[in-house]
A and B are shown apart, each in its own frame.
Chain A
Amino acid sequence: DAKTTQPPSMDCAEGRAANLPCNHSTISGNEYVYWYRQIHSQGPQYIIHGLKNNETNEMASLIITEDRKSSTLILPHATLRDTAVYYCIVKEAGGFKTIFGAGTRLFVKA
């Protein structure tokens, strides 16, 4: 079973920041938080990952709480092309299994 809980859907206005929450209260010390997104009918796309520090790349920022039991993915200026299902995944540093939960369907509206 997936170890994360996400809201099923969210709306965001174009140009505004999209903040997508994820709960992972049972995360263990060697597990990373990964975020992927899947635009309709395409393969999942890697966005960002982190262990305990906040991370930022050209796509997004990842904020992980100090106790590591939750995190937030931030898309700073959402566009219509960011409409997708966003998956938050916790995964061991070593190992193959990536278990996807139900994800959050983000709708960016003009």
Chain B
Amino acid sequence: DTEVTQTPKHLVMGMTNKKSLKCEQHMGHRAMYWYKQKAKKPPELMFVYSYEKLSINESVPSRFSPECPNSSLLNLHLHALQPEDSALYLCASSQDGTSGSQETQYFGPGTRLLVL
């Protein structure tokens, strides 16, 4: 099973709302990722967790708050977003970031976020 699931599929929120995106994998992977993808652009890395610890934060604004409660789950908490934050948010997982050629990333289908 190489499936990464993400919920919800679509989300509309106002600039004052608080919402969360969820990601889950059951491949035993210990590295999990959040990417942001604007229309007609490639995915851009936001955060990486390895063994439930934040390893990379690509200078993402604090209105995006990641959380990794356990090795299978990854959340992205959203607060006070701006309309320009509207995008497809992708979750991915890989072995653990150190396994050489085994570090294939498997992506979920994404959450399409619209901020009004």
Q: Are B97 and A95 in contact (CB under 8 A)?
A: yes
How many B residues are at the interface, by size bracket? 20 to 34
- The interface bits of chain B over 92-112 (1 if a CB of A lies within 8 angstroms of the residue's CB, else 0) are 101001111101111111101
Q: Are B56 and A34 in contact (CB under 8 A)?
A: no
Expressed in whole angstroms, the Cα–Cα distance for A107 and B32 within the complex equals 31
Q: Shortest Cβ distance from B112 into chain A, in angstroms?
A: 8
Q: Are B110 and A103 in contact (CB under 8 A)?
A: no
Q: Are A99 and B45 in contact (CB under 8 A)?
A: yes
Partner of B105 from the list A46, A94, A103 (CB cut-off 8 Å) is A46
Given contacts A95-B97, A102-B42, contact A43 B103 (CB under 8 A): no
> In chain B, residues 67-116, which have Cβ atoms closer than 8 Å to a Cβ of chain A?
88, 90, 92, 94, 97-101, 103-110, 112
Q: Are A44 and B43 in contact (CB under 8 A)?
A: yes
How many A residues are at the interface, by size bracket? 20 to 34
Report the number of A-B residue pairs with Cβ-Cβ less than 8 Å.
63
Measured between beta carbons, the chain B residues less than 8 angstroms from A100 are 42-44
Q: Is A91 an interface residue (CB 8 A)?
A: yes
Q: Are A44 and B97 in contact (CB under 8 A)?
A: no
Q: Is B25 an interface residue (CB 8 A)?
A: no
By Cβ-Cβ distance, the 5 closest A-B pairs, closest first, are: A43-B107, A100-B42, A93-B100, A96-B48, A96-B97
Which residues of B are in contact with A by a Cβ distance under 8 Å? 4, 31, 33, 42-45, 48, 50, 55-56, 88, 90, 92, 94, 97-101, 103-110, 112
Q: Shortest Cβ distance from B104 into chain A, in angstroms?
A: 5
- The interface bits of chain A over 1-26 (1 if a CB of B lies within 8 angstroms of the residue's CB, else 0) are 01000000000000000000000000
Task: Tell me if B's interface is mostly helix, strand, loop or mixed.
Answer: strand
Q: Are B97 and A94 in contact (CB under 8 A)?
A: yes
Which residues of A are in contact with B by a Cβ distance under 8 Å? 2, 32, 34, 36, 41-46, 49, 51, 87, 91, 93-103
Expressed in whole angstroms, the Cα–Cα distance for A3 and B109 within the complex equals 25
Least CB separation from A98: chain B residue: B105
Q: Shortest Cβ distance from B86 into chain A, in angstroms?
A: 14
Q: Are B55 and A94 in contact (CB under 8 A)?
A: no
Expressed in whole angstroms, the Cα–Cα distance for A43 and B109 within the complex equals 4
Q: Are A96 and B50 in contact (CB under 8 A)?
A: yes
